[in-house]
Amino acid sequence: ETEIPDDHPRYASLVTRHRIEAGVEQGITSKQGLIAQGRGEAFDYLLGERTLPSADAAARAAAATLLLADRPVLSVNGNVAALAPSETVELAEAVDADIEVNLFNHTDERVRRIADHLREHGADEVKGLAGDGEIPGLDHARGVVDADGIEAADVVVVPLEDGDRAAALAAMGKTEIVIDLNPGSRSPRTADVPIIDNLLRAVPNMAAHARDLADATPAELERVVDEFDADAALDDAEAAIREGSFADGDDE
Ligand code: ATP
Ligand code: MG
């Protein structure tokens, strides 16, 4: 990472690629994770690699939702672990959430490596290895979760979640917070709180909002949640992509 001069115009993007490559080399990130990264990068480019005000409002609503939760869980996959391990641990601490490793392509070996990686970045307890619970309606391999983790959660944060699993979690009655750069993907469209932003920006932003809201009353937190409009946030991100820097110089 240190080889990239930090005044490089695409510094953040290059650092991200290096982290994902390192994640694959360490057996943390899957090869499919590389493809997901490429898709995310394309959308981030179209969004101008910035946090839209609507995405910031979503991050604040997500923080309030997590602070109001009884059993919040942050779901971590190979991309999240490679890109934002410390940020994820800090968010878990800020909202008192559990961390559970949950992989689309589950292997015990990869779950163990990710759990170790998160512990190296400050996590004390990491769930996901028990695998004694399930998300109904999915193939067994796709639906494995911990009974006292995601299965029992009332609020789950699922960054970069696949659309089928996002829908199955919603069908279980979970309140879902999805981080995804593609406003047209099914997963954010299923979410109660879709955050259309790079997880590298969104996770620390959620933690900052959580610290800011730490002394808010439940009524104040509920107001933050109620004022957030998921459909409007998705529409706003889509409009930003359509009208973004690419439109400059066009007829408008
Ligand atoms: P579905 O409609 O089932 O959700 P999908 O095509 O979105 O399908 P994936 O191939 O898993 O499913 O896509 C990965 C998603 O993760 C993409 O929408 C991509 O934009 C998003 N993504 C990748 N990297 C990041 C990142 N760093 N931050 C936020 N989102 C990301
Ligand atoms: Mg998706």
pLDDT value at residue 245: 63
Question: With a cut of 70, which residues of the chain have pLDDT below it?
Answer: 1-3, 245-252
For the record, the structure tokens of 206 come out as: 């959620």
Q: Answer yes or no: is 199 a known binding residue.
A: yes
What is the DSSP secondary structure assignment for residue 69, as one 8-state letter? -
Q: Answer yes or no: is 186 a known binding residue.
A: yes
Q: Which of 44, 160, 177, 199 to mutate to test the pocket of ligand 1 (most atoms within 8 A of CB)?
A: 160
Q: Answer yes or no: is 205 a known binding residue.
A: no
Q: Among 66, 38, 245, which residue's Cα sits nearest to residue 155?
A: 66
pLDDT value at residue 251: 43
**Mind listing the pLDDT tens digit for each residue in 178-205?**
999 999 999 999 999 999 999 999 999 9
- Residues having CB within 6 Å of any atom of ligand 1: 36-37, 39-40, 43, 79, 83, 160, 162-163, 179-182, 185-187, 198-200
Reported ipTM: the value is 0.93
Q: How far is the CA of 182 from the centre of ligand 1 (A)?
A: 7
Q: How far is the CA of 49 from the centre of ligand 2 (A)?
A: 18
For domain 53-242, give the CATH number.
Answer: 3.40.50.12640
- Atom from ligand 1 closest to the CA of residue 187: 4
Indicate which residue's Cα is closest to atom 1 of ligand 1. 163
Indicate which residue's Cα is closest to atom 18 of ligand 1. 182
Ligand nearest to the CA of 201: 1
Indicate which residue's Cα is closest to atom 12 of ligand 1. 162
Count of residues for the chain?
A: 252
Q: How far is the CA of 38 from the centre of ligand 1 (A)?
A: 9
What is the SS3 string spanning 147-193?
CCCHHHCCEEEEECCCHHHHHHHHHCCCEEEEECCCCCCHHHHHCCE
Q: Answer yes or no: is 17 a known binding residue.
A: yes
- Atom from ligand 1 closest to the CA of residue 166: 4
How many Cβ atoms from other residues are within 10 Å of residue 155's Cβ?
A: 23
pLDDT value at residue 9: 75
Coil, strand or helix at 205: helix
